[in-house]
Amino acid sequence: MAISNGNTSRTAGTPKCMPVPNPAPCFWQQQQPQDVTDLRDHRSSEKLLDYSDIVIIGAGFAGLSTAHHLVRDAGATSICILEARGICSGATGRNGGHCRPDLYGHIPTYIDRAGIRAGAEIAEFEIANLRAIKKIIDEEKIDCDFTLTRSIDVWCNEDSAKKAEAVYQSMVSHNFEYMDDVVFYTGDKVEGICGVKGAVACASFTAGTMWPFKFLMHLTRQLIAAGVNIQAHTPATSVAPDPSGDGSFVIETPRGKMRAGKVIHANNAYVSALLPEYSKNIIPCKGICCRITVPEGTTAPLLNNSYINRTKDNTLSYFIPRHDGSIIVGGASSVFRPFKEQWYDNVDDSVLIDSAKDYYENYMQQTYRGWEETGAKVSNIWTGVMGYSYDSNPHIGKVPSKDGQFIAAGFNGHGMPVIWLAAKELARMVSQGTQFEETKLPRLFQTSQFRIDRAQSGKEEDGDIIGTGNFLDAVLHLVFRTITILPASYSRCQIGATRRSRNSYLYHDAQKLGISDCHMRVIWGAMVDCTDHAV
C-alpha cells in the first residue's frame, strides 16, 4: 500500500477537486461476488441520455438514497445518476460500519450556537434515521449485516471523563426524552462493564452497525429495475445553464454532454469541483480504517457492542465487531492531525496516511481485556475521503442563487446517521417544491448564502475542522466593528427603515471604508440572525 506524503492539491472548480481514479482496495468492497463487482461499474446505456428531468451527481449514500425516495415517494421516472468512479466507491463504501446517532457529543455545541431546540432536533432526527433504516432493511430483507446494538462510549482520561459526565448531566437537565436511553457509568466497575483497559467512565445507548456497501448495492438494483439511468465512471466536469434560457442545464462529462431539468449535487467531499462557492464550506479530509483478525484456529473474546474509545491521551477510535469475529476500527485523527498535508484538503484515497498507518497493529491487545494472547493483527487497511464542513453541519437544500440546483453534502464523517431521512426530505424539495422550513430537516442543516459567506470570509482557524470553532465570535466581532465604524448607517437601520434601505445604507458606507461585499453579507446576516433570536 502506498503512503500519502501530502502531494495531492485541490483547486475549487477544477478537476483537482475530483476523486482520484484508482482508490486503494477496501475490505467492504473486496469481499463481493462477481455480479456485485459488475454492478459497481454499471452503465445503463452505452451513450449518455440527451436529457433527464433530474440528474444526480454522485452514486454514494446521498445520491442513491435521494434517487430511491424520488422513485418510491414521488413517482419520478426520469432520473440519471452520474458517478465519477464505481458506484459506492467513496466514503460510504469505505467507512467504519457505524449507524450511530449523536445524542450528546456535538449537541451541546449546537445548543450553545442556536438554542436548545436546534440542538435537540438533530439528535431526534438521527434517532428517527436509525429507525427508518432498520425498517426498510427489515421490510425488504436486505442482506447487509445490520445489527441493532448498544454503542459504548469509553473515556480513559480522568479530566475528559469528568467533562463527559458534566455534559451528560447537562443533557439530562434539559429533559430530552431520548436521554432516557443513555446510561452513564463511573467508578471502579467501569473497566469490567466495558472491557476496556484503564477505562474510568463509559456510557451506552442504542445504535446500529451494518455493511453499507451491501445496503447501497441493494438500492442500486432497485433503481435500475425502476428505470433509473446510472452511469458509472462518468464524472460531471461542468454544470451550466442551457443557452436556450429554458431553465435547464448542460452537464459536461468526458463521455459527452447531456441536459437536465434539475441537478442534485450529492458528491460530498468533491462538491466544490462544480460549486466553487462551497470551497471553504466543505473540505475533503482523509481518514483511516482497518480490519483486524485473529489467526485461524484462535477464538477471540466475544464483543457484542460497537464502541467509541478514547485513550488516556484522548486518541479516539471507532470500532465495531463483525459476525465473522473480525473487528473494524478506525479513527486515530489526533495521531495524524499534526501532519495537515497528509489528510486536510486532500482527495487522494489511493494512498494511506503515513503518520497513522501502524497505529492499529496491536490495538486489540493493548486496549481490550482478554485479547492479550490472541495474536490479533491488521489484515486490511484503507483510507477514505470525507466532506467536512466549516460549522460541522451538512449543507442540504436549494443552492443559493442557482435555481434548479440542490445540494446534499458536507456530512463530516457522520453521514450514516443522517443521510437516509435527509435524502427523503430533499426529494420532497426537488419533486414537490417543498420549502426547507416545511421539511422535517433540522434547521442547522439548511444551506444558505449566509453560511457560504461566513466560511468564505472566515479564517480556517476559526472554523470547526482545524480551528477553534470560534467563527461566531469572529462574525460578532465583524458586526460590532461595523456598528462602530458605520454609526450613521446603524442609526438609520434602527429608525424603522425597510430591509432594502438598511442594506443600502450599510453597503454604501461600507464601500467607502473598503469592506468587501462578502463580509457585509456575513455581517448583515448575523445582524438579522441576532434580531430574529432576540424576538
What is the tens place of the pLDDT at every residue in 141-175? 999 999 999 999 999 999 999 999 999 999 999 99
pLDDT for the residue 126: 99
Lowest mean pLDDT among 124-128, 261-265, 515-519: 515-519
Classify domain 148-207+284-389 by CATH number: 3.30.9.10
pLDDT at 93 over 80: yes
CATH 3.60.20.10 is the classification of domain 3-7+33-95+213-281+391-454: no
pLDDT for the residue 517: 58
pLDDT for the residue 132: 99
Say how far apart CA 1 and CA 6 lie, in whole Å: 15
pLDDT for the residue 524: 55
φ and ψ at residue 486, rounded to 5 degrees? -120, 55
Say how far apart CA 134 and CA 222 lie, in whole Å: 18
Q: Cell numbers at residue 347, please? A: 482527495
Say how far apart CA 257 and CA 79 lie, in whole Å: 16
Say how far apart CA 130 and CA 1 lie, in whole Å: 34
Residue 532's pLDDT band (cuts 50, 70, 90): very low
pLDDT per residue as tens digits for the range 374-412: 999 999 999 999 999 999 999 999 999 999 999 999 999
pLDDT at 493 over 90: no
pLDDT for the residue 503: 52
Element (DSSP H or E) covering residue 152: strand 147-155
518-528: average pLDDT: 55
Q: Whose CA is closest to 407, among 417, 393, 19?
A: 393
pLDDT per residue as tens digits for the range 204-240: 999 999 999 999 999 999 999 999 999 999 999 999 9
- Residues facing 396 on adjacent strands: 408, 446
pLDDT for the residue 139: 98
pLDDT at 7 over 60: no
pLDDT per residue as tens digits for the range 319-359: 999 999 999 999 999 999 999 999 999 999 999 999 999 99
Lowest mean pLDDT among 364-368, 500-504, 519-523: 500-504
464-483: average pLDDT: 70
Q: Cell numbers at residue 414, please? A: 457522520
Residue 468's pLDDT band (cuts 50, 70, 90): confident
41-56: average pLDDT: 98
Longest dimension (CA), the chain: 80
Helix (H, G, I), strand (E, B) or coil at 142: coil
Q: Whose CA is closest to 127, among 101, 91, 105?
A: 101
pLDDT for the residue 35: 86
Kindly give the interhelix angle for 419-432 and 116-140, rounded to the nearest 10 degrees.
Answer: 90
Residue 470's pLDDT band (cuts 50, 70, 90): confident
pLDDT for the residue 327: 98
pLDDT per residue as tens digits for the range 416-447: 999 999 999 999 999 999 999 999 999 999 99
pLDDT at 531 over 50: no
Say how far apart CA 352 and CA 350 lie, in whole Å: 7
Tell how strand 79-82 and strand 229-231 pair up: parallel
Residue 1's pLDDT band (cuts 50, 70, 90): very low
Return the ∠ at Cα 46 (arms to 22 and 256), rounded to 5°: 70
**DSSP letters spanning 430-459:** HHH---GGGSSS-GGGB--HHHHHHHHHS-
pLDDT for the residue 50: 98
pLDDT for the residue 521: 57
**Contact indicator for 152, 307 with CB cutoff of 8 Å:** yes
pLDDT per residue as tens digits for the range 299-315: 889 999 999 999 999 99
484-493: average pLDDT: 51
276-288: average pLDDT: 96
Lowest mean pLDDT among 243-252, 295-304, 369-378: 295-304
Residue 505's pLDDT band (cuts 50, 70, 90): low
Tell how strand 282-293 and strand 377-389 pair up: antiparallel
Residue 495's pLDDT band (cuts 50, 70, 90): very low
Residue 194's pLDDT band (cuts 50, 70, 90): very high
Other CB atoms within 10 A of residue 295 CB: 10
